[in-house]
Amino acid sequence: MELDKMDENDWKYHGEGNKSLVVSHLQHCQVLRLLKFPSEDSAHTRQTAEQAFRHILNIVDYSKYVMKPLLGEKYVHSGEVVKLPLDFVRQLSLKVQQERPELRCDKVMDTFSGCGLCLPNLTQLPLHHLRDHRPPICVEIKPKCGFLPFSRHITKECKRKVCRFCMHQHYKLANGKWKRLSRYCPLDLFSGSKQRMYVALKNLLEEPQNNLKIFKGGELIFSCKDDAKQQPDLNDLVQHLRPYFPHSNGLYNGHQPGKAVLNEFIQVICSALLSGGDSNRSGESRKVHLSESRPLCEASPFPRDLLRNGNQGLPKDSVLAKILQVQMLDNLDIEGIYPLYKRVEQYLEEFPKERNRLQIDGPYNESFMDTVKNCPVEDDGSVEYAVGKVHQYRVAMTAKDCSIMITFAPCEEDEEHQLNLEKPRLTYSISILDLDPKPYEGIPHQHKLDTKIVNYYLRSTQAPPPSSLYKERQECTLLFHAV
Ligand SMILES: O=P(O)(O)O[C@@H]1[C@@H](OP(=O)(O)O)[C@H](OP(=O)(O)O)[C@H](O)[C@H](OP(=O)(O)O)[C@H]1OP(=O)(O)O
Ligand SMILES: Nc1ncnc2c1ncn2[C@@H]1O[C@H](COP(=O)(O)OP(=O)(O)OP(=O)(O)O)[C@@H](O)[C@H]1O
C-alpha cells in the first residue's frame, strides 16, 4: 500500500462493529480498520494522534503476543499499524457515511489521528485458489461464550444452568436491542455434536442478530436487517448458494429444494468448524472435553431426548476448541474477579507508580503473556495473584467476543485444505478476528451488567401468574418505555 498515494475512491465501506469501522480495497485483498468514538465526545477528550497510534499498536501487540500464541498461528492475522494522510481519512469518512447502518451511527469514525490498522481481507481467498468462476463465500460467526461458569464464587444458581447468551437475550429484547429472541445457543455450537451444531447454525440463519454474516465475493449478502423488525431473506440466500451445491437442487423430489441447499451449507460450516484436529495413533481425532462445566444449557431449544450421547468434545486443534480453551481462562467468573479487581485498585491507590510494572494498560508483550500463563492457582492474598487473574479474565473476555470467519470456494481435486466432504469439493480458510484487549476499567461495568442480566432473566422467566403480576408489569412498562 503506497501511503502517499491513498485515494478514497479505491476503498469502499465493508462493515463495522461497536469500536471500529472497516473499509475494503476495490482491487487488493486488504481492509483498513479505523477506530470510532462516541459522537458526543468533545474535541479535547479525544485521543491525540500519538495516543491513537499507541492504542492501535497495543491492539496489534495484544493480537501478536497474547492471542496468537493462545489461539494458534494459523487462525490469527494481527495486521500492521499504518499512518494515513488526514485528507484521505476525511474524504473516506464522508464517502462511507451513507452506507453505515443507523444503529451504528451513535459513533463517528476517527478522522483526527490518521492511524489505522491494515489487515488481509478475510472474506476473500488469496488469488491462487480462485480457479473457478464462483466467488468465495465467507461465513462470519460471533459465537460468544460457549460454557457454563463453574466458579465457586457464583451466587445465582441459574448461572450454572442457563448460559449467558440465552439469559442476555431476554435483557436485549426488553431494552429494544433486538425485536425477536434468538434460539441460537453457543453451548450447542461448541458441543462438538454434529446434531447440536446443526441446530445452532440453523437458528443463527433464522435470527442472525450480530452473530452471523455471510459474504459472497467480499460483498455482504446476508445479515440482520438494519430495520430489526424485518427478518433476513433465506430464499435470497438460497439463490446465492445454489451454484455452490448444484447436486442438492435435485434432492427432496423437487419439494423444498432450498432446504437441501441450506442443509448442505450448514454441513460445510460444521465440517470447517470441526476441522484442523490432529490424529493420534488410533487415527481418531483427539478431543477436548469440558469436564468442569455442564455441557448443556437449559434454555437451548435442542430436544433433550436427543442428548443421549452427551457432550462429544471438540477436535483438539479445531477453531472452536481453541476459542473455548481461552474463554475458559475465566474460571472465577466476574463474581470472583470483581473482589480481585478491587484489591488491585486499592493497591494502585496506595502505589500509583506500580500501574506500569503490573502492566495494567499494557504493553502487551511476552512478559504480560507470562503473567497470564503462570498465574498461581491458589490465592495467596497478593496483588500479583489478583493482577494475574484479572489479566486472565480480560483475555477470556476477548475470546468471548471474537468472531470466526470461514471462507470457502469450489476447488480443483489437488488443492490443499479441502473440506472432508464427499461433495462438493471446497477449498477453505478459517480465521479469528476482533481480538482487541478489553479494558481493565470495564470490570465494574461487567459486574453490574452480569447482575442486571441475571436479575432480568429471573424476573422474566420465573414471573408469577398474570393475575398477581399487575403491579410488577406496570413497573416493567415504566422501566422499558421511558417517556
Ligand atoms: O457484553 P456483551 O456480551 O454484550 O458483549 C458486547 C457486544 O454485545 P453483544 O452481546 O455481542 O451483542 C458488543 O457487540 P455489539 O456492539 O452489540 O455488536 C461489543 O462487541 C462489545 O465489545 P466492545 O465493548 O466493543 O469491545 C461487547 O462487550 P464486552 O463485554 O465484550 O466488552
Ligand atoms: N480482516 C478483515 N477482513 C474482512 N472483514 C473484516 C476484517 N476485520 C473486520 N471485518 C469486518 O468488519 C466488521 C467489524 O469489525 P470488528 O468486528 O473488528 O469491529 P469491532 O467494532 O471491533 O466489533 P465489536 O462490536 O465486537 O467491538 C466485522 O464484523 C467483519 O465483518
Q: State the Cα–Cα distance between residues 169 and 147, nearest whole angstrom.
A: 16
Residue 418: the pLDDT is 56
Give this prediction's pTM: 0.91
**pLDDT tens sequence across 218-240:** 999 999 876 656 778 899 999 99
Residue 422: the pLDDT is 54
Mean pLDDT score, 386-398? 98
For residue 38, name the pLDDT band (cuts at 50, 70, 90). Answer: confident
Residue 280: the pLDDT is 40
**pLDDT tens sequence across 69-122:** 999 999 999 999 999 999 999 999 999 999 999 989 999 999 989 999 999 999
Tell me which residue has its CA closest to atom 15 in ligand 1.
Answer: 18
- Relative to beta strand 137-141, strand 219-222 is unpaired
Residue 98: the pLDDT is 93
Place of cell 494515513: 84
- Relative to beta strand 403-410, strand 426-433 is antiparallel
- Answer yes or no: is the ipTM higher than 0.90: yes
Strand ranges in 26-77 using DSSP code E only, listed in sequence order? 30-38
Which of 33, 80, 172 best tests ligand 2's pocket when mutated (most atoms within 8 Å of CB)? 33
Which of 110, 433, 436, 438 best tests ligand 2's pocket when mutated (most atoms within 8 Å of CB)? 433
CB 466 within 8 A of CB 428: no
pLDDT at residue 283 greater than cutoff 50: no
**pLDDT tens sequence across 294-310:** 588 999 998 877 776 55
Radius of gyration, CA atoms only, the chain: 23
438 lines ligand 1 (CB under 6 A): yes
Which ligand is nearest to the Cα of residue 453, counting in written order? 1
pLDDT at residue 358 greater than cutoff 90: yes
Ligand 2 mean position to 18 CA, how many Å?
9
Ligand 2 mean position to 16 CA, how many Å?
6
CB 147 within 8 A of CB 161: no
Which ligand is nearest to the Cα of residue 145, counting in written order? 1
169 lines ligand 2 (CB under 6 A): no
Of 14-23, 141-150, 209-218, 459-468, give the lowest mean pLDDT range: 459-468
31 lines ligand 2 (CB under 6 A): yes
Of 24-33, 287-296, 355-364, give the lowest mean pLDDT range: 287-296
For residue 477, name the pLDDT band (cuts at 50, 70, 90). Answer: very low
Residue 469: the pLDDT is 39
438 lines ligand 2 (CB under 6 A): no
Which ligand is nearest to the Cα of residue 166, counting in written order? 1
User: Mean pLDDT across the chain, nearest whole number?
Assistant: 87
Ligand 1 mean position to 328 CA, how many Å?
18
**pLDDT tens sequence across 162-218:** 999 999 999 999 999 999 999 999 999 999 999 999 999 999 999 999 999 999 999
Tell me which residue has its CA closest to atom 21 in ligand 1.
Answer: 18
| Residue 461 one-letter amino acid | T
* Cα–Cα nearest to 67, from 391, 384, 445, 357: 391
Mean pLDDT score, 40-64? 82
Q: Across the chain, how many H-helices and E-strands are there?
A: 15, 13
Residue 279: the pLDDT is 39
* Cα–Cα nearest to 195, from 251, 270, 118, 145: 270
pLDDT at residue 407 greater than cutoff 60: yes
pLDDT at residue 324 greater than cutoff 90: yes
* Cα–Cα nearest to 188, from 211, 157, 171, 213: 211
Q: State the Cα–Cα distance between residues 185 and 303, nearest whole angstrom.
A: 13
Give bridge partners of residue 430 from the DSSP assignment: 406
116 lines ligand 2 (CB under 6 A): no
Residue 40: the pLDDT is 72
30 lines ligand 1 (CB under 6 A): no
